[in-house]
Structure formats: structure tokens, C-alpha cells
Amino acid sequence: MSADHHHHDHDHNHGHHHDNRYTDMQARVRALETVLTEKGLIDPAAIDAIVETYETKIGPRNGAHVVAKAWSDPDFSGWLKRDATAAIASLGYAGRQGEHMRAVFNTPDTHNLVVCTLCSCYPWSVLGLPPVWYKAPAYRSRAVIDPRGVLAEFGLTLPETKKIRVWDSTAELRYLVIPERPEGTEGMSEDELAKLVSRDAMIGTAIARAESGKKRP
Amino acid sequence: MNGPHDLGGQMGFGLVSPEKDEPYFHAEWEKRALGLTLSCGAFGAWSIDESRHARENVPPADYLAASYYEIWTRALEVLLERHGFATRAEIDAGHKQIEPAKPKRILTADMVPGVLAGGGPCDRPVETEPLFQPGDKVRTKNFNPATHTRLPRYARARTGVVEEVQGSYVFPDDNAHGKGENPQWVYTVVFDGGEIWGEGADPTLTVSIDAWESYLEHV
């Protein structure tokens, strides 16, 4: 779903007001940056630093480390249940959109799925920036009413008897799903375990698998 | 407000289409839009609640057709104009025309690590005891404010159970409109799928929201 495609549809299908300011986002955003830079209100190098942070430093590997530690260390797992913000901060992950963390544990009975139906709330400190689908209407509209249908689109079919708990992030709590540890991973190190934990498994649109974690997003 | 953003339970948007090996950004302008939004947030002129409300006010047809970074950009322009930092005419022209308002803070590159690591905690102490306890049966408010709220339409006038008292936080319904932070207790409230969706609901489904105290009443 490219942004250009949407703008094309918008301009030609909706006659309410012909708003061509947004047909070229590259130009629009460049103009905005130029105006604010000329006014001395922003530092373009700060934008570079923000982008670099989220491209290279803050991403789902942070969350995978948290999960692997929880799988390996019962004390840490208990701390994560009681005070996720502090437990996660002890590994060095804190800050913007991770100020108030909650960890929700999948069990043999219950699968957890996280959504923000009202906007795009997401635990940036442990998962980085959200993927496009997480912010798009299809996921936000259906996760709360048809989670099994949504999961099927991710290739995940849960047993019919498994309970599904959907967490709608309507306040400032940010949720990290702790998937179940896959069988056959006894004796693996934390680093090896972390490789089995995908971003989607920590949102709840996947589970952790012993064999194919590396290929998954 | 009953805006285009309140999407829970709406239909017709098609399949979720996850992208394999999705990049963090799909165009250069998305990087700048992210950085601009965070840089301008650092001015200290508006709250996250006011910025969310500005995004909700993007006209529905535009909101649903836009990528999320476009929604952010449209809202940012509204906020910049509202608070005296840049006018639509300036952005259309691509150059400064008037002197801006003075921000509380200008984000420079050296400040970025500290600002991102610090974030913006919004827990605040309150002097009252929580009205509800885990296990309490509660009913959510039925209302349709034209202003900002974080109680989604699908969860209004529904009966659920308090699972946890999550602490006390800034109340966005007030804070988005400059009426003060007025913190309240926040509770995780769990609803059976059938209570929300009625006939045909998935019997294995429960949905929770995080609800400010004034959204709730005892049943």
C-alpha cells in the first residue's frame, strides 16, 4: 500500500475539497522542514539523530532480549510480571513510548494480542517503530472483533479452545507480549533464545518457534 | 469525538497485509516527518493528548486514505499554526514570512539521546483512594463527546470487570483541551467478547481497555 497510490485515489475520488498540498509528501515535508529551520525552531541534525536512533539502536531486538531473559531467569520473569517498567529498564531499555510498561504472558490456555484501536500506541522502547500494518485501519478495526481472522492472515491458527485476550492500548500503558518458550530449546543461551523471538510474537500476531525464528519479522 | 480514528469493530478495510522484512521507513520524507513531529513536540507548546486530538480531526476521508506519517504531518501543521510557530501560507510557500512564537525548548542533536531516553512519563499522584478494586463489576459511561476521549465507541455502556488498578495518570479528555492534567486512577477493565459484540461473538474472546476512573460506574 504505497502512500502515492492513496493520494492519487484521494485527489480523484473525493470532491469535498481539492487539497493538493498533500499530493507530494516529499515536497510538503521538505517545505515544512525549511520553514522551521529558517525560523531557528528545529535542528535538522536532531532529526538525523532521531532517525538514526530508531534505525539502528531501538528495535525489536530489545524486546527479544527481555523475552529471552524472562525465559531463562525465573526471578527476572517474576519481576517483569510485578513491575515491567523497572525490570525492562534494568536491561537498559526505557524512554519514549515505554514509560509505563506491562508484560503480558502467553500461557497454554491464553494467547495475548495487542492493538491500539484509537491511534498507534506501541512500546517503542522495546519494539522500535511500529510496522505500517499495526497503524492501518484493517488491523486496528478487526483485532478487537475478529482476532482469529487477523491471526490467520499472519499464518497463525490457534486451537479453537484457546482463549484470546486482546489488549486495546487506550491509555499510556504499553504492552509487551511474552510468548511461550518453544519446546526443544532447553539448554539454549539467552542470545540463542532471543533469535527465536520475532517482533510479531511480541505483539501477539505470531508465536515463538524453535526452528524458524530467524526468518520471521 | 466520534472521529475516523475510532476504528474498533468497523468493517470493510480488507485483509491485514503484513510486509515481509518491512523497512522502518518507506520514503525519505517519512524519516523527516518523524523527526519533525518529535522536534516540534519538544517545543513544550502542546501535550501528546492535544496532538492525538489534532490527528483525530483530520477529515475522515483524508484520515482513512492517508499513511500514518501523513496523518502526523497534517496534524503537525495544525498544531504549528494554532500555537503561532508557522502558518499554512508559510508552509505552502516553503519559506519563513513571520517571526514565530518562542518555544520553551529547541531540540538540538546533542539533546536527542537524553530526550528519547527520558520520554514523557504521565503518571501523576492523586489524593483520593481508587474507587474500584480488582474484581469489581463496572459499567462504562455512555456518552458521545465532541471533544477528545480515550473511551472507544465499542466499549461505551458495556459491563466488564476491573482486573487491575494501574496507577494514576493525566486525564487526556481534559488535557487535550488545555483544561489541565487533572489526573485520575486508571483501571484495566475486561469485557467478554459477547458483551461487546453480541450475537456471533467469538466465545473465547475477551477484550480489555485501560479506563480512567470517570469512565466507570459500579454495577
Query: A141, B26: Cβ pair inside 8 Å?
Result: no
Across chain A, mean pLDDT equals 90
Q: Is A121 a catalytic residue?
A: yes
pLDDT band, residue B77 (cuts 50/70/90): very high
Separation of alpha carbons A5 and B17, rounded Å = 16
- Residue-wise pLDDT tens digits, B133-155: 999 999 999 999 999 999 999 99
pLDDT at position A23 is: 80
Task: Check whether A189 is labelled as a binding-site residue.
Answer: no
- CATH number, domain B136-218: 2.30.30.50
Whether residue A13 is predicted with pLDDT greater than 60 in this model: the reply is: no
- CATH number, domain A60-214: 3.90.330.10
Q: Is A119 a catalytic residue?
A: yes
Annotated catalytic residue, options A119, A141, A189, A212:
A119
What is the model's pTM?
A: 0.94
- Residue-wise pLDDT tens digits, B154-192: 999 999 999 999 999 999 999 999 999 999 999 999 999
Q: Which candidate in A33, A145, A160, A174 is best for mutational testing of the B interface (most B CBs within 10 A)?
A: A145
Q: Are B125 and B168 in contact (CB under 8 A)?
A: yes
B contacts of A14 (beta carbons < 8 Å): 61-62, 65
DSSP-derived 3-state class of residue A11: helix
Asked if A89 reaches chain B (Cβ–Cβ under 8 Å), the answer is no
**Topology at the third CATH level for domain B28-118:** Cyclin A; domain 1 (1.10.472)
A contacts of B72 (beta carbons < 8 Å): none
Domain with CATH 1.10.472.20 in chain B: 28-118
Annotated catalytic residue, options A2, A72, A121, A169:
A121
**Where exactly are the structural domains of chain A?**
60-214
> Bridge-partner residues for B186, per DSSP?
B212
A contacts of B7 (beta carbons < 8 Å): 117-118, 137, 140-141
What secondary structure does DSSP assign to A177-199, as a single string? EEPPPPTT-TT--HHHHHTT--H
DSSP-derived 3-state class of residue B43: coil
Q: Is A77 a catalytic residue?
A: no
Classify each residue of A123-141 as buried b or exposed e, where b means 16 or more C-beta atoms within 10 Å of its C-beta: bbbbbbbbbbbbbbbbbbb
As a whole-number percent, the residues of chain A with pLDDT over 90 amount to 86
Domain with CATH 2.30.30.50 in chain B: 136-218
- Residue-wise pLDDT tens digits, A158-208: 999 999 999 999 999 999 999 999 999 999 999 999 999 999 999 999 999
